[in-house]
Amino acid sequence: VIGCYPESPTPLALIPPHMGSLLKAGVPVVALRETHLSPATLNPFQIVTLETDAIMTGKEVLALVNWVRTGGFLITRPNACEYDELGRKPVRPLLPETLRLNRDLRELQKCGKGKVLIVEPERFADATLAAVRSCDVPFTLPSGIEVVCYRSPSCHIIHLLRHDAGSGPFSLRFPRWLGARAGQAAWCSPSWADSKMLEIKQDGSSLGLRFPELPEYSVITTSRDNSARTKGFAIS
Q: What is the pLDDT of residue 217?
A: 92
Task: Give the span between the Cα atoms of 171 and 160, in whole angstroms.
Answer: 12
Q: 128 and 158 share a domain?
A: no
Task: Give the span between the Cα atoms of 40 and 164, in whole angstroms.
Answer: 37
The C-alpha angle with vertex 177 and arms to 196 and 30, in degrees rounded to 5, equals 85
- Residue 236 belongs to some domain of the structure: no
Task: Give the span between the Cα atoms of 158 and 66, in whole angstroms.
Answer: 31
- Residue 139 belongs to some domain of the structure: no
**What is the domain range of residue 130?**
10-134
Of 84, 105, 134, which residue constitutes the final position of a domain? 134
Strands (E), 71-169: 73-76, 109-111, 114-118, 145-151, 155-162
Q: Could you tell me how far CA 236 lies from the centroid of its own chain?
A: 6
Q: 108 and 154 share a domain?
A: no
- Residue 233 belongs to some domain of the structure: no
Task: Give the span between the Cα atoms of 163 and 180, in whole angstroms.
Answer: 25
Query: How many structural domains is the chain composed of?
Result: 2
**Mean pLDDT for each consecutive 10-residue tract of the chain (236 residues)?**
50 68 77 84 87 82 90 87 76 75 81 90 88 75 79 84 77 78 89 91 80 90 62 44
Q: 118 and 161 share a domain?
A: no
Q: Could you tell me how far CA 202 lies from the centroid of its own chain?
A: 25
Task: Give the span between the Cα atoms of 220 and 130, in whole angstroms.
Answer: 26
Q: 90 and 16 share a domain?
A: yes
Q: 85 and 25 share a domain?
A: yes
Q: What is the pLDDT of residue 3?
A: 52
Q: What is the pLDDT of residue 230?
A: 46
